[in-house]
Amino acid sequence: MLRLKGIDLGRILLGIRICSYCFAALISLSVHAAWQQQWQLELDSGYAQASASPVFASQDQWLADAALRWYPQYHNLQGQLVALSQSKQKQDNQHDLILAELFWKTELAERDLLVGKQRIDLGVSYGFRPLDMFLPYRRNPVAIQVEEGVGVFSLSQFSGNGEYALFYTDSYLATDSEGLQQRGAGLRWYQLSNNSEWQTLAYYDNQRALNLGGSWVSTFGDAWEVHAESRYQQHYRRMVSHLTQTNIGQVAPISEQEFDDGIQALLGMTWANLAGDNLIVEYWFDNRALSQQQWQKVADVSRYLAQQDGGLNQLRYSQGAVFNGQNIMQHNVMLHWHRDIDDWQPAFDLMLAPEDGGVIATARLDYEFVQGWTLGARLRYLGGADNAVYQLLPESRVGLIKLEGRF
């Protein structure tokens, strides 16, 4: 990723426009050039209400994001360049120019060859995807999110109803992948049979060692679908808190440690009707997340430090690093509903933590007022029971409006 900080967004947008014009001019020199491009503009603005968390020094604040995406394509060469601006009332503005994707696809000896930087997500689920393993992103964010690709070399062989692939990936090409950087090689087998499809995956990298995964999707009649996916990883790393009320000042407050045998597994189903209603129910488990007992220790020591002299705030806020995992809780339940009503698309997500009664609820409403242009609104609540871990997150409510269009 190319990242430029502290640069005016107007200059970034002008630069990306100039690059596109120069590229288009060069391509136009070829009479038979197969040149295509598309632009996408995303704008959002909203307000985040801070929680009463003892772990984070959060404050109520306004926020705004803007992203201009350029999708050029010339023959088998495709790319995605993003100019991103993020502004928060109580924080410094950030302006980035991100080369999200740039890859080339061709055929070699009756096999498909792909070389470059591409977003790869082999998952089949909605709320969490264990097979999104090369550079995972948080699912279903309310604000703008740029999902950057990884370096990839892939050679695929298609059969009548399946695919075999040998691939190499390198996420070090994405500088936003701190803590998720690895490079490795793997094999993938995909098969489609009647109303079912499944895949198996074996991947070895320099950080997690062996990764084994698979997925299965099957439809029943016109209304029902069942899906499952899982992954085993030989090693994984996570932040661990060492503080208790009796060892303050005697130990490091937090450190990153390596553990063995990470397991993620998900089971879900989808139901749909002719009126446009779609309902998804999913449960997943991730043993890489902290247990309920470990979260209770983090909450107890954070509340204790909050009651002490203000000089201990740095220790208290250090506990926020344990929230950086892909999943906060080990056990998770997701309920999702959306409906397609001509130009209107309402949706609702309810994520539950059965262990402590935590709740994250998200309502969405999008309206396509002109072909290709959508106006939307998002509302998210984070909390639940008084002792829920989600109560420790820095925000309790987020609301925003957004505009998105392609041209």
Residue 24 pLDDT > 60: no
pLDDT digits (tens, 9 = 90+) for 162-218: 999 999 999 998 866 566 789 999 999 999 998 999 999 999 999 999 999 999 999
Beta bridge partner(s), residue 73? 36, 78
pLDDT for 58 equals: 86
- Give the integer Cα–Cα distance in Å for 148 and 299: 34
Whether 313 has a pLDDT exceeding 60, the answer reads yes
194 burial (CB, 10 Å; 0-12 / 13-18 / 19+) is exposed
The pLDDT value given to residue 123: 95
Q: Annotate 21-53 with three-state secondary structure.
A: HHHHHHHHCCCCCCEEEEEEEEEEEEEEEECCC
In Å, how far are 44, 144, 332, 343, 404 from 371, measured between CA atoms? Answer: 19, 21, 37, 9, 11
- Residue 308 confidence (pLDDT) above 90: no
Question: In degrees rounded to 5, what are phi and psi of residue 20?
Answer: -65, -40
pLDDT of residue 91: 82
CA distance 149 to 156: 19
Grouping H, G, I as helix, E, B as strand and the rest as coil, residue 14 is helix
> pTM to 2 decimals?
0.88
N-to-C CA span, the chain:
24
Residue 344 CA to residue 352 CA, distance in Å, equals 27
